[in-house]
Amino acid sequence: MSSSLVRDVKQVARGWRWTHRQLPPRSAEPHHVFPEAREFPTDWARSPVAVRAREAILRGGLTPLVRHETTLQVEGLDVLDDIDGPVIFVANHSSHLDTALLLTTLPPQWLRRVAVGAAADYFFDAWWRAVGSALVFATFPIERGGVGLSETPTRLLAQGWSLVMFPEGTRSPDGWTRRFRLGAAYLAARNNVPVVPVALSGSFAAMPRGRGWPKPGRPPVHVRYGRPVHGLPGEEPRAFGARIAGALGQLLDEDRTDWYAARRRAALEATPSPAGPEVARWRRVWESSAGPAPVRRRPRAWR
Amino acid sequence: MPRPGFVLEVDERTPPLLVHSGESFRLQDFPLGSRVIYPPESLPGVPDVDEAIEQALLHPLDSEPLPSLLHAGMRLTIAFDDLSLPLPPMRKPDIRQRVIEHVLEHAARAGVDDVQIIAANALHRRMTPDELKAIVGERVFRSFFPDNLVNFDAEDRANLTHLGMTDENEDVEISKRAAESDLLVYVNVNLVAMDGGWKSTAIGLASYNSLRHHHNSHTMVHSRSFMDRHSSQLHSSAWRMGRVLNEHVKVFQIETTLNNDAFPSQYGFLTKREWEWSMRDQATFLGAKRGIDMMPAKARRKLFQSMEAPYLVTGISAGAVEPVHDATLERVHRQQLVDVDGQSDVLVLGLPYLCPYNVNSVMNPILAACLGLGYFFNMYVGQPLVRKGGAIILNHPVPWEFSTLHHPSYVDFFDEVLSVSTDPKVIEQKFEQQYATDPWYIHLYRTSYAYHGVHPFYMWYWCAHALDHVGDVIWVGGDRRAVARMGMRSASTFADALEMASDTVGRSPSITYLHSPPHVLARVNGSHP
């Protein structure tokens, strides 16, 4: 009797995707009344207790893990010293490693007041994933289906929380940057907060789509924080978004070469496009898979 | 706004689907690509039932208003559908009670003294006083029972009248009281398209002498289907008889239609589309299934038989039989009709605990077969859901169990008749007369609560069209001996049933599951996909 109960429960759990969001059969969609989308509540994940728990998890678990599994190089954190209020961190996105790289490299005072925008249909389609990502990564849901931004990010900025956003909307399939959506620019302009571009290099090579763990051999990953970009009076979000994308492109260029060379190219409006070369897909993937140049070891004085 | 019915194509997102199986139900995974026919959602009920009844009586179709047909000194007979309708029985007050009370209010105002109320049970069993009271209500019961609220007795020769023959030489013999009344008011509950029209009076109040003309294997095989009046020989015969009846007695027909709210709200998952089940529905299903499976058989039956449907009345029409019935069919179709493209190789049916003939009783193997192959198979307009030579997979435990109170002739039919032949035509020729005229069965029918001796034959004839049409009938979870006695096969699981059916329909058959109850009527177009 108990075995048949277990069998029934398993059948129901599997059939109704207890671990995921239930979807109607395709042929039933025209006849389906979709319930009004309710945003998964994440306020609890920003409570003092949750913040302390997250800090403990990140500093005690994730940071050592990231540093153990990758060769991490962080640059530009000094730009945050001059900023007081909330900002929107905008980064390129090609790996699940990216959020971890950002959170584990932010100074503690910033880490305690940052929330990460995450795709509602991916990170919030199962309760366990939603709870886990909200607790560990301080995520809040963002609908990607053209529904429009909820009031949550605006409310968070007003409460002094900084946001992390990946304006590409999804992980790059080939390591190069995709077209930026305007949500981050719109939010920054509307709430009059600066945008801090963050260039992430090597995460695609270290842990591309389809991998759940970084490649062995401690692949190099670089996190480079750039100077904040402020919206101009009367500036349209589209124009502001283009400036943000430009700033991120220069940061990526800087990461590949050096600061001065990148500045020179920027002055000549010759910054290489972060969207990568227009060549066959395999060549784009091939180049991205190589990753950034490894960190050069300091010359040893004594051999 | 209720959503229409539709045909689902099973894909990887489709959860397992609810399948009824007697006094239980289960979830069944269907192969990808299977079609599932879902009924339309329940239509809203009329806002004020009493007002709707009054409007129907005062503004009838092709008839004078009821008050103008009533006068002092007249003989008024009110006949009504018996407990075979609706299924499950309706939560009180039953719509028949409300209609009869309205009719009687008018009769009282007109000063009618001679009123007889007859349950039109034909060869069905008599109803107990409590069952009568449940249908007509306490006021009517107290005013008329036992002398003027009666079950129809089709074997009371003194109270039958032979009205004549139809143009196809069919006897029209019905209740004498009804035939000799100044006005016969018929109060119907129309659950499916088969009910109502002339079937109410010409069958419900008829004797064996009349019924044998259409309740036979030939008529049944050529009723395609019973749910499509214009393609049903059964209905054609009833309509011919109705015309004879109409020449002798004024009939004021009142037909009522119900929506699809077949189960109480606590069993809401039974009428919901599975992918829309909430966590609560899933938990209710698991709890209900576990509870039901653990219950002793007697308690389980009591639980199911005590279920009352919260049906809402979707409309009431009154007046001349045929225009009233046309209006009824329009409402029934609105509630139940679903368009389906083409037939399939396999038709899957889940049979619930109840059919018209086991209310407060046991569903024996013959009734289970009749429910599946008679009623559910015939829920089509156009052409059957399964192709000629295809297979039917039925879900029911088919217990070898009979009520000797209600179905005494079924016991003998199952033992003596089906063991000789399962061919409806053969058993009709060889055994029907013997059972129809057996004095003991007639005695039990008249004085106890037994179905008439010939009734199991009729149940078997209901299956005749399906048996003639399909190549294989397989019961999932059916008692092997009982199923074998009926000349069919039993499988332990649905997968086994498909494996067994592969002899008939191959290894990649097209499958259609009729997701019922609640009732759904498939209008099948086109050809085999």
**Matching residue, tokens 């790059």:** A172
Q: What is the pLDDT of residues B224-241, one digit of tens each?
A: 999 999 999 999 999 999
Residues of A in contact with B295 (CB under 8 A): none
Residues of B in contact with A15 (CB under 8 A): 15-16, 27, 29, 274
Flag if B276 and A24 touch (Cβ within 8 Å).
yes
Among A1, A16, A27, select the one facing B8 at the smallest CB separation: A27
Among A8, A24, A32, select the one facing B286 at the smallest CB separation: A8
Residue B157 phi, psi dihedral angles, 5° rounding: -60, -35
Distance from CA of A2 to the nearest CA of B (A): 10
Among A5, A24, A26, select the one facing B290 at the smallest CB separation: A5
Residue B39 phi, psi dihedral angles, 5° rounding: -70, 160
- In this prediction, residue B337 carries a pLDDT of 97
In the beta sheet, which residues pair with residue B171?
A: B165
Spatial contact of B348 and B513, defined as CB atoms under 8 Å apart = yes
Residue A127 in contact with partner chain B when CB distance is under 8 A: no
How would residue B291 be classed by pLDDT, with cut points 50, 70 and 90?
very high
Q: Does the predicted model carry a pTM greater than 0.90?
A: no
The residue of chain B nearest to residue A18, with distances taken between CA atoms, is B279
Distance from CA of B17 to the nearest CA of A (A): 9
Flag if B294 and A16 touch (Cβ within 8 Å).
no
Among B10, B15, B29, select the one facing A16 at the smallest CB separation: B15
Residue A22 in contact with partner chain B when CB distance is under 8 A: yes
Distance from CA of B418 to the nearest CA of A (A): 36
Rounded CA separation B160/B174 (Å): 6
**Matching residue, tokens 């008024």:** B76
Cα A74 to chain centroid distance, Å, stands at 16
Mutation for A interface: B1, B7, B8, B512, most A CBs within 10 A: B8
Q: Which of A20-29, B155-164, B270-279, B470-479 has the lowest mean pLDDT?
A: A20-29
**Matching residue, tokens 């990649």:** B508
Distance from CA of A187 to the nearest CA of B (A): 36
Flag if A27 and B3 touch (Cβ within 8 Å).
no
* Interface list for A 32-91 with B (CB within 8 A): 32-33
One digit per residue, the tens of pLDDT, for chain A of length 303 reads 577 889 999 999 999 988 777 789 999 988 887 766 677 889 999 999 999 999 999 999 999 999 999 999 999 998 898 888 899 999 999 999 999 999 999 999 999 999 999 988 888 878 888 999 999 999 999 887 655 667 889 999 999 999 999 999 889 999 999 999 888 999 999 999 999 999 999 999 999 888 889 999 899 999 999 999 999 988 888 999 999 999 999 999 999 888 888 888 988 889 998 888 888 888 888 888 887 876 556 666 765
Size of interface A-B (CB pairs under 8 A): 60
Residues of A in contact with B289 (CB under 8 A): 8
Distance from CA of B274 to the nearest CA of A (A): 9
Taking alpha carbons only, the member of B400, B411, B401, B403 closest to residue B438 is B411
Among B3, B4, B286, select the one facing A12 at the smallest CB separation: B286
- In this prediction, residue A221 carries a pLDDT of 94
Chain B positions touching chain A (beta carbons under 8 Å): 3-4, 6-11, 13-16, 27, 29, 273-277, 282, 285-286, 289-290, 293-294
DSSP one-letter string for B392-436: EEEE----S---TTT-HHHHHIIIIITTT---HHHHHHHHHHHHH
Residues of B in contact with A127 (CB under 8 A): none
Flag if B293 and A4 touch (Cβ within 8 Å).
yes
Flag if B7 and A33 touch (Cβ within 8 Å).
no
The residue of chain B nearest to residue A2, with distances taken between CA atoms, is B290
Residues of A in contact with B16 (CB under 8 A): 11-12, 15
Flag if A32 and B275 touch (Cβ within 8 Å).
yes
Flag if A12 and B11 touch (Cβ within 8 Å).
no
DSSP state of B146: T
Among A1, A12, A33, select the one facing B282 at the smallest CB separation: A12
Cβ neighbours, 10 Å, residue B236? 19
Among B8, B289, B290, select the one facing A25 at the smallest CB separation: B8
Among A1, A11, A26, select the one facing B16 at the smallest CB separation: A11
Flag if A15 and B29 touch (Cβ within 8 Å).
yes
Q: What is the pLDDT of residues B458-489, one digit of tens each?
A: 999 999 999 999 999 999 999 999 999 999 99
Q: What is the ipTM of this complex?
A: 0.84
DSSP E strands in A105-167: the ranges are 114-119, 139-142, 162-165
Q: What is the pLDDT of residues B14-70, one digit of tens each?
A: 999 999 999 999 999 999 999 999 999 999 999 999 999 999 999 999 999 999 999
Among B27, B275, B290, select the one facing A22 at the smallest CB separation: B275
Flag if B277 and A16 touch (Cβ within 8 Å).
yes
H or E segment at A200?
Answer: strand A195-201
Name the maximum alpha-carbon separation found in chain B: 71
Residues of B in contact with A25 (CB under 8 A): 8-11, 13-14, 275
The two counts, helices (H) then strands (E), for chain B are 21, 20
Distance from CA of B13 to the nearest CA of A (A): 5
Q: Which residues have CB under 8 Å from A141's CB, separation 6+?
A: A39, A40, A42, A118, A119, A120, A123, A124, A130, A150, A152
Mutation for B interface: A16, A17, A32, A125, most B CBs within 10 A: A16
Topology annotation, domain B6-42+277-310+336-525: 2-enoyl-CoA Hydratase; Chain A, domain 1 (3.90.226)
Indicate whether B528 pLDDT > 60: no
Residues of A in contact with B274 (CB under 8 A): 15
Distance from CA of B331 to the nearest CA of A (A): 21
Flag if A8 and B273 touch (Cβ within 8 Å).
no
For residue A125 the two structure tokens come to 């389609």
> Within 13 Å, how many C-alpha atoms sit on residue A65's CB side?
12
For residue A43 the two structure tokens come to 């306020």
Indicate whether B529 pLDDT > 50: no
Domain architecture of chain A: domains with CATH: 43-290 (3.40.1130)
Residue A158 in contact with partner chain B when CB distance is under 8 A: no
Among A1, A12, A26, select the one facing B11 at the smallest CB separation: A26
Mutation for A interface: B7, B9, B14, most A CBs within 10 A: B14
Residue A4 in contact with partner chain B when CB distance is under 8 A: yes
Cβ neighbours, 10 Å, residue B448? 12
Residues of A in contact with B494 (CB under 8 A): none
Residues of B in contact with A9 (CB under 8 A): 286
Rounded CA separation A125/A118 (Å): 11
Flag if B27 and A23 touch (Cβ within 8 Å).
no
Taking alpha carbons only, the member of B411, B252, B221, B230 closest to residue B324 is B252
Mean pLDDT along residues B215-221: 95
